[in-house]
Amino acid sequence: MTETTSLAADSIIYHVPLEHLSACRGRHLIVRSDDPHALVDRIGAADLNDLAYVQLRSLPSGSEALVHWAEGLGIELVLDSPADDFARLYEYAKLLDNHPVRVLLPVEPGFEKAAKLAASLQFAVRLQVGQPTVPLIESLAQVLDDYLHRPTVGQPIDYFHSVLLGLCHRQPISLWAIQEEDPALVRHVDTGGEERLPGKLAGAEVGVRPEAFVEQWANRLRREGAECAECPFFAPCRGYFKWPRRDYDCAGVRTLFSTLQQAAEALRADIAAIPPAGDVSPP
């Protein structure tokens, strides 16, 4: 699955409905539709080089149309009601024969059932996390524990996966980018063809330079002496969990970050203990 964090710094990826594909050709694209057959019929071979992935919404029947189409192209499945509809993921398991597949889940009551099933089917997962309540933090902690310790989980669960790797390798990371909600990287085109801000910023007024929003928001929070000012995880978060409600209590999400930090340190130690190639210790 191609991620927005892998794009060049001056690249913007446009998240567009299939019906506006022709107007957006030549740009970096994510194309969304609720009809698998329409994706096959309307996306030509010449379009594939511009696509990061396609997004299939509402999980209709007809997934078999995608199995042998555009092999290797990433497909994201959107499960809007994960507690009710998680069993529908079984119908899409065949896509893994020829595609990387990721499931997008809103973090709401019952989402953990869908996350566990998706992971067991070897789908990657992206959690649309928002500002989780205390009960949802507990569910997120369970999913994180599965990601870190359950041997049957073999694919990324984001945001956990990307944060873990960034912390392990001491690389700069941003939750806004991981969650594909940084306006410097992603723009959303609505069904009317209007360009909008992505994700949780949809409909927000962020100034005349939306590409500078994340840095300006982070600086503002630190200047105001908010909870972020003393947070050890401010660098990867950049105030992500303070939008839209600045009074959101981050105590719960800090526990998740702490778990990831501990796991990253353990992983770094394990990597450091691996002997160099060709270095065979005497018996």
Tokens of 256: 């998740």
Cβ proximity of 95 and 119 under 8 Å: no
Summarised one tens digit per residue, pLDDT across range 48-107 is 999 999 999 988 777 899 999 999 999 999 999 999 999 999 999 999 999 999 999 999
Buried residues in 10-46 as b, exposed as e (16+ CB within 10 A): eebbbbbbbebbeebeeebbbbbbebbeebeeebeee
pTM: predicted TM-score of the whole model, two decimal places = 0.91
* Amino acid 6: pLDDT: 43
Cβ proximity of 82 and 116 under 8 Å: no
pLDDT above 90 (res 256): yes
What mean pLDDT is reported for the chain? 91
pLDDT above 60 (res 215): yes
- To the nearest whole percent, how much of the chain has pLDDT over 70? 94
Cβ proximity of 218 and 239 under 8 Å: yes
pLDDT above 90 (res 185): yes
pLDDT above 50 (res 7): no
* Amino acid 207: pLDDT: 77
Summarised one tens digit per residue, pLDDT across range 229-248 is 899 999 999 999 999 999 99
Domain regions of the chain by residue span: 4-201+209-269
* Amino acid 8: pLDDT: 43
Which region among 1-15, 42-56, 71-85, 143-157 has the lowest average model confidence (pLDDT)? 1-15
